[in-house]
Structure formats: C-alpha cells, structure tokens
Amino acid sequence: MNSAIDQTENSHALQFNIAISAMPERLDKVLAQLMPDHSRSRIQAWIEEGHVLVNGQQVRIRHQVLPGDVLHVTPQSRPEELAYEAEDIELDIVDQTEDWLVINKPAGLVTHPGAGNWSGTLLNGLLYHFPQLKQVARAGIVHRLDKDTTGLMVVALTEMAQTHLVRQLQERTVKREYIALCHGFLYGADCIDLPIGRDARVPVRMATQNAIAPRSARTHYEVIEQGLFDRGLAVTAVQCRLETGRTHQIRVHLSSQGHPLLGDDIYGGKPLGGATRQMLHARALAFDDPTTNKLVSFAIDPPVDFTAVYEQVQWKNK
C-alpha cells in the first residue's frame, strides 16, 4: 500500500492516519495490510459489527479509503478467547461439599464452550460462582449432558476430586440413570451394544453404521411403561443406564433400534405432545465421595416440560 501510516494506540482502540499520498482502496483490504496478524474475514466482521470507524463514521466493507482519512479500529477478542471467562449464570445446586457439587442442569444450557457456543455455558457459570475452578482442568467438569438434556451432573471442585471422579468414570463405577420417552413400543429389558462414531454424512450427528472412528458403547435399558397419545401414536417410557458415555449415546442407540426420542429431530424424533427438545432426563446419579470413599447418591424429578408431555399419554397401567 502506497501510504505512510501513523499508528497510535489508546487502550484497545487503534488509530491509523492514511497518508496524503495513498491511493484510494477498499477498507477491508487496507486494514488487512495494516493488521497482518488478523485474517481478512475477521476484519470484515469487525467492520460489519461497527468496530471500525472512518473519520468517526461507521461504513461498509467496500467503503473506499481516501488519502488523509483517519481509521479507528477496536479489535475484538476471538470467541475462543472468551471461552473461559466467568459469567453470572444461575446454577441449580442439588448438593455440595468442599470437593464436589451436584447440579441439576436445565434444558438449553451447553456444558462446555465449543464451536458456536463460546460463552453462556455451564463452564462459564461455574467459573463465576467458584473462582477456584480456574485452577482445575475444564473447570472441574468430568462428564457432560447434551444441551437439551436435563438432569444431574457432578462437578469436581479440586484437582484431587477431579482425578478421583474421572477414574471412577473410566472404571465405569459411576451410576447414571436416565428416563426417556421414545417412539413406538419397546419391550422388557436389554443392552444395546453398538459402537458409536461421527456420522460421515452429517457432522452434527453420531451414528452406529458407517461412522467415523467408532468407539465401543453400551446402553442398558428397561421399559417402565407403554402408552398411547390421543391419536393412537405409541410411546414408551424407558429407563436407561449408561455403561459408557459417548456423545448422544442414548439418543443414537434408541434411534438405531427404530425408537428415536420424542422431540429429537436430529435422530428422527417427532414433537409429539408438544415436545420441543429430546425427551431425555438424567434422573439419578451415584458415585464414591473422593474423600470418604462412601457412596453418595442423588435423584431429581424431570422438569415441567418433560412432565407436560408425559401426562398427555394414556399409560396402559393407569
């Protein structure tokens, strides 16, 4: 770029004075040359979001920068740079000690920051309420629930507790019990033993067939009751116990048997009874206390939206 640049910095804002001898050029191209450490697409996003001013005015990406113009840029952090910031997010704490806490996670709350969800997660809330978790890997999170799955999770408050709880998960001694509402009639009790990996065709899905890097997965289930909606559509309430903890495990396994969860549109479920999310709730949790080595156990009722769907079914045993 044929210009002499005078750059000054005030807090996070940057000022660029375009030389009188400079040739007119598109704003995003000018800034890409002036700020080589940032990608052009990122700079374009700053322009669109109003973080770039030309002579004190917001402009468009294609704006022509002229000789003598003054550019003000306020660089924005990358989303992933905000992932571990504390946020005042309400937590429903069921119980806690100096070493761990058990929470009742609501629907809609992402457990851990990731692509598309760099803030507003359970992890951000934990860092706000328990600042000491900045010193613990993954802010003490030892297992996850899907965004729209509700129920019980244990979080370690110390490195010692996290190591102990992770070891229990690896040894499959943590007891995790779920209740799910699925399409059709299931019968009796069984174990679904099918490896799960990323779906090769749909990145947001997991799969049991033609999957990328499948890993062993075992889900034990037992039918609680069967029933019908008023249109004669069959539904089964089923208790599931995880032996492994793969992404979307219960959802994928039941769908693979032709019984997707109500409301789970990713795996073929329909919004029967007004279900707006997958009808899956982690209702029971048990583990050995890392300090006392005594078994502690917890149970929590499903939330209001789950109960509302459940109560619309004409259950056979009622």
> What residues act catalytically?
146
Residues 144 and 114: beta-carbon distance below 8 Å: no
Quick check: 174 and 286 in contact, CB under 8 A? Answer: yes
Spell out where the chain has E strands.
6-10, 13-17, 25-26, 52-54, 57-58, 64-65, 70-73, 93-96, 100-105, 150-156, 175-183, 189-193, 196-199, 206-207, 211-215, 218-228, 234-242, 280-288, 295-299, 314-315
Residues 6+ apart with CB under 8 A from 231: none
Output helix, strand, coil percentages for the chain, rounded to the nearest 5.
Answer: 20, 35, 45
Find tokens 């979307």 and name the residue. Answer: 248
- d(CA 192, CA 185) in angstroms, rounded, equals 16
H helices of the chain, where? Answer: 27-34, 40-48, 122-129, 159-170, 249-256, 304-310
DSSP assignment, residue 82?
A: G
